[in-house]
Amino acid sequence: KTTIREIYKETEKYLNNEVVLEGWIRTSRSSKTFGFLELNDGTFFKNIQIVFEESLENFKEVEKLPLSSSIMVKGILVPTPEAKQPFEIKASEIEIEGYSTADYPLQKKRHTFEYMRTIAHLRPRANTFNAVFRVRSILAYAIHKFFQERGFVYVHTPIVTASDAEGAGEMFRVSTLDFHNIPMNDKKEIDFTKDFFGKETSLTVSGQLEGEAFALAYKDIYTFGPTFRAENSNTARHAAEFWMIEPEIAFADINDDMQLAEDMMKYIIKYVMENAKEEVEFFNSFVDKGLIERLENVVNSDFGRITYTEAVELLQKSGEEFQYPVEWGMDLQTEHERYLSEKVFKKPVFVVDYPKEIKAFYMRLNDDGKTVAAMDLLVPGVGEIIGGSQREERLELLEQKIIENGMDPEDYWWYLELRKFGGTKHAGYGLGFERAVMYITGMTNIRDVIPFPRTVKSAEF
Ligand code: 4AD
Ligand code: MG
């Protein structure tokens, strides 16, 4: 037995020899005496053509197989120099494994991505998605490889948590109560703040706070896990459930943090370009013509750096008609982020030192008293891909900030203790995994890089 990937990779080895493949029928046509099937076995986004003749014992049956029936094929791999595909298999035996039916939805070669979202369970069978989800897998591996090679410890932070790591109130509540079976009148009697074994809990928005606890023991750690945001953002870049990578480094400041982010981005892009070469070429041909050039540019350039204040001035002077006019103190919108990375820098750029009012409570206050040591990495095509900061290590300032943000220091007692018992400067960032997949594939909607996406108004699967 072999695979289609093997055959494309090591054609010489297989040519004019007998091969055995298992897969699903993608297309089928036949005449009275012979027929063609295109087979895909999932190991590669390309198909292989199977020729079968009347002499085949079950010719009549094979000829009528509906698309997506699964078969085992035995035959000789022969070169076809005049044809579009470089080789085909002359079948000597075809064994039917599983029948499909005539109403299989993927009859045509091309369907819109929107339509494919409605059949998420069949979507990985289409070439584009085969390539997307393979790149997703390879990218995940590259990220682990990068951090493990540098000695970072992988920490599993909790999914169910009592703290709001971003302090933004965008949490999905987790409850042990069966709301549907509580009689209407009793509902007001219940203390909804103590519903998970006596505590109010939610799905985590970030593993950062727990990550900090481990960084202050191991020095360098990273998390890589699912995170959840109950934000009502129905955009092409926001999901309610997404994966995040969050390194945290102790004895390090915001510059060390940016250096790590830049090294990581270059490493993972290079890794994917080398280890999913055909897939990246496929995306470059069919999804985004400038992809490879852009990725090469990332690997070979030094990322830009600009302060928030400079960025605001630049945007104001740009003469662009933005939907949201720019003024100091506002959060940058996607249009501004993309303008900076696509028009001004034409490469990834870090924006640093944001106004403290628009950033999370844990970020370190700068000496100007107005800004915090925050950094966002903006990339062409996507906008913000990384958000990070140096953390406030000064106990009093952190406590004060928690109160200012309307949060209760009691809830964060353990987080505050990290500053009490040998606190040190430390920093970290979060890479949105799906945004990274989008960036490396050129796919423009986050729904198309998540196997079963959970976004505003969609959790059918
Ligand atoms: O900027 P964010 O909110 O930062 C944090 O969560 C920090 N705790 C990270 C840290 O310093 N350890 O999120 C980080 C990244 C964003 O830059 C973005 O790429 C991604 O996570 N992200 C989302 N991706 C998809 N859907 C959403 N709703 C996202 N929200 C954030
Ligand atoms: Mg952010």
Asked whether 205 and 420 are in contact (CB, 8 A), the reply is no
The set of residues, in sequence order, having a beta carbon less than 8 Å from that of 369 and lying 6+ positions away, is none
Distance between CA atoms of residues 208 and 247, nearest Å: 8
Whether 85 has a pLDDT exceeding 90, the answer reads no
Whether 182 has a pLDDT exceeding 80, the answer reads no
Predicted local distance difference test score (pLDDT) of residue 233: 81
Distance between CA atoms of residues 350 and 346, nearest Å: 12
Asked whether 449 and 441 are in contact (CB, 8 A), the reply is yes
Q: 376 CA distance to ligand 2 centroid (A)?
A: 7
Distance between CA atoms of residues 461 and 458, nearest Å: 8
Q: Which of these, 94, 108, 121, lies nearest to 39 by C-alpha position?
A: 94
Q: Which ligand 1 atom lies nearest to the CA of residue 233?
A: 28
Q: How does residue 193 score in pLDDT terms, banded at 50, 70 and 90? A: low
Whether 99 has a pLDDT exceeding 70, the answer reads yes
Q: How does residue 185 score in pLDDT terms, banded at 50, 70 and 90? A: confident
Crossing angle of helices 127-149 and 277-286, in 10° steps, is 130
SS3 content of the chain, % helix, strand, coil (to 5): 35, 25, 40
Predicted local distance difference test score (pLDDT) of residue 57: 94
Task: Give me the percent of the chain exceeding a pLDDT of 70.
Answer: 95
Q: How does residue 231 score in pLDDT terms, banded at 50, 70 and 90? A: confident
Distance between CA atoms of residues 252 and 389, nearest Å: 11
Q: 384 CA distance to ligand 2 centroid (A)?
A: 7
What number is the average pLDDT over the span 50-72?
A: 96
**Whether the CB of 19 sits within 6 Å of ligand 1:** no
Q: 207 CA distance to ligand 1 centroid (A)?
A: 11
Predicted local distance difference test score (pLDDT) of residue 458: 66
**pLDDT tens per residue, range 103-115:** 999 987 789 999 9
**Whether the CB of 239 sits within 6 Å of ligand 1:** yes
- Counting beta carbons within 10 angstroms of the beta carbon of residue 218, is it exposed (0 to 12), middle (13 to 18) or buried (19 or more)? middle
Distance between CA atoms of residues 135 and 443, nearest Å: 12
Distance between CA atoms of residues 145 and 154, nearest Å: 11
Q: Which residue is closest in CA terms to ligand 1's atom 3? A: 387
CA of 429, nearest ligand number = 1
Query: What is the pTM for the complete model shown?
Result: 0.94
Q: How does residue 346 score in pLDDT terms, banded at 50, 70 and 90? A: very high
Q: Which residue is closest in CA terms to ligand 1's atom 28? A: 238
Predicted local distance difference test score (pLDDT) of residue 191: 66
Q: How does residue 197 score in pLDDT terms, banded at 50, 70 and 90? A: low
Four-CA torsion 216, 217, 223, 225, nearest 10 degrees? -110
Asked whether 461 and 283 are in contact (CB, 8 A), the reply is no
Residue with tokens 């933004």: 168
Predicted local distance difference test score (pLDDT) of residue 371: 98
Q: 432 CA distance to ligand 1 centroid (A)?
A: 6
Q: Which residue is closest in CA terms to ligand 1's atom 7? A: 430
**Whether the CB of 254 sits within 6 Å of ligand 1:** no
